[in-house]
Amino acid sequence: MRTQPLRTALGAVAALAVTSGPALAASGPFFSLSNTNFIVLLAFLIFVGIILYVGVPKIVGNLLDDRAKTIKAELDEARALREEAQTLLASFERKHAEVTDLADQIVKTAKEDAAAAADMAKEELKKSIARRLQTAEDQIASAEAAAVKEVRDQAIAISVAAAGRVIQDKMTPERSGKLIEDGIAEVDQKLH
């Protein structure tokens, strides 16, 4: 099998060498060892023959096939990684949307709670102010009642003292006897 590619390659090189212009430009017969062009052609053909004999094209082909398989595997891995990245991106976008919705809901709930707490605090403040006002009014009323009672007590005491002095100044023993008798008669009438 190796001889067939060798013959084909040698035939192609020989045809190229014979038909080429510089090979014909050399002086003397072409197939002579003194012709440098022939020596270069011969060396090239031997070199190509050694390469074909050793199997360099097959080795190079295998290396290229291996490299193609490696590149294909890397492309498949890159495609799989890309699909995984797209899946992760979609997952993160969903999670981001969920977190954003949750954050919006938390903010909305917090605002509602704050408004409710503020309303409740206002109501409690109103009730506290009303209780304090009522307590103050009760204390004022109590103080007024105490002041009125104290003024009355003092007025009664002053009146009693003044009446006592007036009675003491105007009371004579006869008059006192007559008042006692009138008082007894009045009590007697009321009892019967």
pLDDT digits (tens, 9 = 90+) for 16-70: 555 555 545 456 677 777 888 889 999 999 999 999 999 999 999 999 999 999 9
**11 pLDDT exceeds 70?**
no
Whether residue 71 lies inside any domain: the answer is: yes
> What confidence score (pLDDT) does residue 2 get?
47
Q: Is the dihedral of CA 119, 120, 121, 124 positive or negative?
A: positive
- Residue 82 belongs to some domain of the structure: yes
- Token readout for 163 is 């009446």
In this predicted structure, what is the pLDDT of residue 92?
A: 94
Determine, yes or no, domain membership for 120: no
Residue 26 confidence (pLDDT): 52
**Residue 104 resides in a domain:** no
If one counts the domains in the chain, the total is 1
Q: Which DSSP letter does residue 33 get?
A: T
Q: Compute the mean pLDDT over every residue in the chain, rounded to the nearest whole number.
A: 83
Domain contains 179: no
Q: What is the CA radius of gyration of the chain?
A: 67
Q: What's the token pair of residue 53?
A: 């004999």
114 lies in some domain: no
Please give the residue that has the higher pLDDT: either 107 or 192: 107
DSSP tag of 77 = H
105 lies in some domain = no
Q: What does the alpha-carbon distance between residue 171 and residue 133 come to, in Å, rounded to a whole number?
A: 54
Any domain includes 42: yes
Q: Is the pLDDT of residue 71 over 60?
A: yes
Task: Please tell me the chain's helix, strand, coil percentages from 3-state DSSP, rounded to the nearest 5.
Answer: 90, 0, 10
Q: Is the pLDDT of residue 103 over 90?
A: yes
Domain range enclosing 37: 3-99
